[in-house]
Structure 1
Amino acid sequence: MDPALTYADLSFWHATAGDLTPRAGLDGDTDADVAIVGGGLTGLWTAWYLLERDPALRIVVLEKEIAGFGASGRNGGWCSALFPRSTVSLERAHGHGAALDMRRAMIGTVAEVGRAAESLGIDCDYARGGTIAYARSAVQERAARAEIAEAERYGVDDIGWRGAGEVHAAGALGASLDRNCARLHPAKLVRGLAAVLEARGVRILERTEVTSVTSGCVETTRGVVTADRVVVATEGYTATFPATRRRILPLYSLMIATEPLPPAFWDEIGIAHGQTFTDYRHLLIYGQRTADDRFAFGGRGARYHWGSAIRPGYDRVPRVFEHLRRTLVELFPAAADAAITHRWGGPLGVPRDWHAAVTYDPATRIGRAGGYVGDGLSTTNLAGRTLADLLTGAETELTRLPWVGHRSPEWEPEPLRFLGANAGMLAMAAADVEERVTRRRSVIARVMAPLVGH
C-alpha cells in the first residue's frame, strides 16, 4: 500500500463502499479449525459456506491489508458466467459432459451470488441485465454469430443477436446479448460479506502479513496460526511468495470511472441498469452502467512487470488511462465531455494454461483456489462452495467439476516470462490492427488462441 494513499483511494468502488477502517491484526500465536490466507472473495465465500456446513467451526481469515483490498474490490463489477477457458477448450481437455457441467455451474453461480447477497442483507447493487457485446466490423459480426451458434450447440446459454437498429454504440453492426451476467458493486459485496462473517464469529485479522504456509501452520509477521486445515486464496498476490512465484502471473488491468450522467444519455446509448458491455476486439475491454449512472470502464494494456513484481505505482499508468478514455469515447461519442473522476488498477492472476482451479490435498490439508484471469467475481463464489465441500469431506456435483484438482504448469523463469507475457499483450493489440486492415479474422489471434484458453 502506498503510504501517501488511503484505502478509499484504491478505486471508485472503495471510495463508495463505506467504512474502510482496518480491523485489528493478529496479536501473538493462536489456533483455529480453518485458517484462510487472503481476505478477498475466495477466502470469504469459503468461510461463509464452511459455516453453513458446520456452524461450530473456528475460522480465522488473515489479510495483509483490508478485506477486499485486491482484485475482489477493484474489478469491473461483472458477475458473469465466464470461465477463463472457453467451453470448447474445456471439452477438448475434459470431455463434452464435464465441459457442460462446468458451464452450467458457472451460469448457476450468477444467480447464487445474487441470492446469497440478498439473503445476507448485502446491498451490492446487484442487477442481472446481461452483457451486450458490440460487433463493430464485419469480422466482429462473424465472431459474434459464431459465438451464438456455439452456445446454441451446447444448449445451456441464453444468448441472442440484436440488429444494428437495436444497439447504439458507434459503428455497431449489431451485438450479442448474453443474459448470464449481473452488474454489481464489488467492494460493497466483499466488504459486506466480511461484516456478515465477523458477526457470525469469524476472526478477520487485517494488516497481518503471511510469510509462509505449511501443513497445519501459517506464519505471519505478527504470530503463528496453528490450524487443522488451511486455505490459500491469494490470486495475483500468490506470486509474492517465493514458493509459488511461478504458479501465477500477476497481470494488471486498469479502469476509469466517469461522473454520473443523466438518464437521457443512457436512453440515447441504450444501456439499461444491470447491463454490462464489451465488444469483440482481442485486447479486452469491459464496462458497466453503475447504480449511480456512471461508466465504470476498463481493459488490458498495462504491461507485465519483471519478476512478477506487484507495486502500488503499477496501479496507475497514464498512457493506459488515456487509451481507455479514448476507447470509451470511440464507442460512445456522446461521452466525450464526461469528466473522469476515478482512475485505478490492480493485478489479476493468470495461470500458465489460463485454467482456473480448486485443489485440496488431504495429506497436507491445504486447499487452494484461483487463476481466474479476471473472471473471478462469480467464480470465487463457486470456488468457495467447492472448497467448503472438499474441506468437509463431502462428495458432491461441485467436487466432480473438471477444475477440481487441475494443476497448471508453472510459468517460465525470467527473462522468458517477461518476454512471453508482454509479447502476448502486444500480439492481441496487433491482432486488432490486423483485422481492421485486412477485414479478415486475424492470423495472429488464431495462433494465440490456444495460449489464452480458446
Structure 2
Amino acid sequence: MHLSYWEIKNWFTDVDYTIVGSGIVGLHAALRLRERFPAAKILVLEKGMLPQGASTKNAGFACFGSLSEIVEDLKTHTEEEVIALVQKRWSGLQLLRKRIPDAVLDYKPFGGYELFLEDEESLYVECVNKMAFVNEILNPIFRGGVFTKEVDRFGFKGTKEYLIFNPFEGQIDTGNMMQELLRQAVAANILILNQQTVTGFEDKGSGVEVALGDFSFATQKLLFATNGFAAELTQGQVKPARAQVLITEPIPNLDIKGTFHLDRGYYYFRNIGDRILLGGGRNLAFEEETTTEMGQTEIIQKKLEQLLKEVILPNQDIEIAHRWSGIMGIGASKNPIVTNLSQNVYCGVRMGGMGVAIGSLIGTELADLV
C-alpha cells in the first residue's frame, strides 16, 4: 500500500477496535464503543466511497413492518419471535431518534399505509381478519391499536377501497441521518478510512491481524458490520438481497404524504417533498436479486414504472429523475445475528431489510458484546 511511517503510526498502530462497515450498524457500534472506552483507538474501515450496502441507499422508512409482513412472519416465526422483532425495531427507532434529533433526521410522522391491489382478495381478507389479533399481541409495545382500516383518500387506482393505516410510522432523510452519524464519529475521534477492503483476518488470541491486500495491521478486537456482504462470515446464514429504487422529478400538487407498503412489503413508496420514491420488486426475480452487484434490471424497473403510472399516480405524466440500488442482508430467519465469531472477532448482521429501524440497536448490541 506504500504507506509512510506517519500513516502507519497514526492510523494502524495500537488499534484497540476495528469496525468493518461504516453504515448505520458500524457507526452506532463505534459511537457506543467510544462511550464505553473514552481513550480507545477506534478505526472504521469502509470498502466504498460511502457506506456500500444499504445505509445511504435505503428509502428512509421509519417502520417496523406492515400488517401483511407481520401476518406473513407469523407463518415462519413463533408469536414470541414476531413480538420480539417488532419490539427491537421500535426500540431501535427510538434509539436512532435519541442519537439524532428529529429536526436533523427530517423526521415526519405522517403515518404508514398499506394498500392492496384489487386482485389480492385473499391476502386482503386474511390481513383484515387477523388485524385485531395482531393489534392485541402488539398492544404491550404500543399501548394501543396499531392498525386500522381507512378509506383511500389518495386516489390510487386498481386497489381496494380501504387502506390499512398505522399512525406510529414515519419517514426520515437517509442522507441527513448518515451525514450526522459520520459527523458524530469524527467529533468523537473515531478514525474512518474509505476505499479499504478487508481481504483476510486471523484471530491470534492476543489480538487480530487484519489484511488489507498486501498490508496487514494488528487490532485488539475486530467487529464486522457488513450486513448484506456477510455471507462468508456466517456460513450462508446471511444472503444479499438487492433492492432497486427510483425517484421521480417533482410532481405539481402532489397530495401523497406518508410511507406506503404493497404486497407483504415487497413494494414500498413514499413522498420526498413533491417527488415519489418507489422501490422493491425483488420477488419477481429472487435468484437474480440475490447478489452484491449494484444495478437495475428491466423486469423490475418496468414493474416499478407500471405501479407508478397505473396505480400510484394514474393518468399523470411522470418523469423518472434517477434510479439506484442497495444491498440488504436477509436469511431464513429475520432475527439479526449478533455474535462472537471467535475470541476477538464479532459480527452484527442480517437486518432483514429493516436497517433504519434496527441498525442503531444492533450496532449498540454489537459494541456491548466486547
Both proteins in one fold, TM over 0.5? yes
Mapped partners of 2:77, 2:123: distance in 1: 27
Q: CA deviation at 1:78?
A: 1.0
Counterpart for residue 126 of structure 2:
143
Which of 211, 219, 224 is residue 232 of structure 1 equivalent to?
224
- Report SS of the residue matched to 1:71: coil
CA contact (8 A) 1:107 1:180 kept: no
Matched, 1:220 2:205: no
Which of 146, 151, 173 is 1:159 aligned to? Answer: 146
Write the distance in 2 (CA, Å) between the matches of 1:104 and 1:306: 32
| Structure 2 CA distance for aligned equivalents of residues 90 and 225 of structure 1 | 46
Give TM-score, length-normalised by structure 1. 0.69
User: Could you tell me how far apart the structure 2 residues matched to 1:90 and 1:367 are?
Assistant: 29
Q: Please say if 1:173 is aligned against 2:136.
A: no
Structure 1 327/27 Cα, relative in aligned 2: closer, same or farther at 3 Å?
farther
1:255 and 2:245 matched: yes
What residue identity is the alignment partner of 1:235? N
Greater fraction helix: 1
Q: Is the 8 A contact 2:93 2:356 kept in 1?
A: no
TM-score scaled to structure 2, two decimals? 0.83
Change (3 A) 1:175 1:304: closer
Residue identity in the other structure for 1:252 = R
Show structure 1 runs of 5+ residues with no match. Answer: 1-25, 392-454
**Compared with structure 1, are the counterparts of its residues 136 and 92 closer, same or farther at alpha carbon in structure 2 (3 Å cutoff)?**
closer
Distance 2:362 2:288 in 1: 29
Shift of the alpha carbon at 1:178? 1.8
2:309 is aligned with 1:329: yes
Match of 1:423? none
Partner of 2:3: none
How far apart, in 1, do the equivalents of 2:100 and 2:265 lie? 32
TM superposition shift of 1:248? 2.2
Percentage identity across paired residues of the two chains: 21
Cα deviations by residue, 1:313-338 (Å, 9 ceiling, x for unpaired): xx122332121011122222347311
Structure 2 residue 199 is the aligned partner of structure 1 residue 199: no
Change (3 A) 1:384 1:73: same
Structure 2 SS opposite 1:346: strand
Uncovered stretches (5+) of structure 2, i.e. residues with no partner: 1-5
**How much has 1:224 moved relative to structure 2?**
2.4
Q: 1:38, CA displacement in angstroms?
A: 0.9
Q: Provide the C-alpha distance between the structure 2 equivalents of 1:88 and 1:323, rounded to a whole number of angstroms.
A: 23
- The reply to whether residue 364 of structure 1 matches residue 326 of structure 2 is no
Q: Distance in 2 between matches of 1:172 and 1:388?
A: 45
Match of 1:320 among 294, 300, 307: 300
| 3-state DSSP of counterpart to 1:72 | coil
Structure 1 Cα separation of the partners of residues 265 and 97 of structure 2 = 29
Higher RCO (C-alpha 8 Å, min separation 6): 2
- Aligned mates of 2:30, 2:277 — CA distance in 1: 29
Distance in 2 between residues matched to 1:368 and 1:99, nearest whole Å: 22
Task: Please point out which of 98, 104, 112 is paired with 1:115.
Answer: 98
Supply the distance in 2 between the matched residues of 1:46 and 1:335 (Cα, whole angstroms). Answer: 47
Alpha-carbon distance change, 335 to 42 in structure 1, aligned in 2, over 3 angstroms: farther
Counterpart CA distance in 1 for 2:170 and 2:289 is 35
Pick aligned residue for 1:265 from 249, 254, 270: 254
Which residue of structure 2 aligns with residue 446 of structure 1? Answer: none
Shift of 1:222: 6.3
Alignment of 1:5-404 (within 5 A): 27-28=7-8, 29-82=12-65, 86=70, 96=80, 100-118=83-101, 123-137=104-118, 138-154=121-137, 155=139, 156-157=141-142, 158-164=145-151, 166-170=153-157, 171-215=159-203, 216-221=208-213, 223-239=215-231, 241=232, 244=234, 246-262=236-252, 264-266=253-255, 271-272=256-257, 275-279=258-262, 281-282=263-264, 284-290=266-272, 292-301=273-282, 303=285, 309-312=291-294, 315-334=295-314, 336-360=316-340, 364-391=343-370
- Once the two structures are TM-superposed, the CA of residue 305 in structure 1 deviates from its matched residue by 5.8
Please give the alpha-carbon distance, in whole angstroms, between the structure 2 residues aligned to 1:259 and 1:386. Answer: 40
